[in-house]
Amino acid sequence: MKHPLESLMSAGGILLLAFLSCLLLPAPLLTLTLAHKLMDRFHLLDLNQLYTIIFCAWFLLLGVIEYFIIRFVWRRWFSVERG
């Protein structure tokens, strides 16, 4: 039987791993021309807004990837089956 708070713990785990990713991996750098193209496409006012969006998306993506890798390793090798 699944735990009733499993979905909440999944989201919390992803956010925690996203914050840990901030310490481990740098976000991708953009060239100036690509940054200006993205600013024009998304109607942003300055480069700070663009990099805020990029950093948030990058760290959340890394958090999701790390969460699923750790969950796979846990379920594959460390989980104790009861039944």
* pLDDT at residue number 35: 93
Is residue 13 included in any domain, yes or no? no
**42: domain range?**
30-83
Kindly state the average pLDDT of the residues 63-76: 82
**28-62 confidence digits (pLDDT tens):** 788 999 999 999 999 999 999 998 898 888 878 87
Q: How many CA atoms lie within 13 A of 67 on its CB side?
A: 18
**In a domain? residue 41:** yes
**pLDDT tier, 82 (very low <50, low <70, confident <90, very high otherwise):** low
Backbone angles phi, psi at 25, to 5 degrees: -125, 135
Q: Could you give the C-alpha distances from 11 to 36, 44, 45, 66, in angstroms and in order?
A: 33, 29, 31, 12
**57 in a structural domain:** yes
Residue 71 lies in a domain: yes
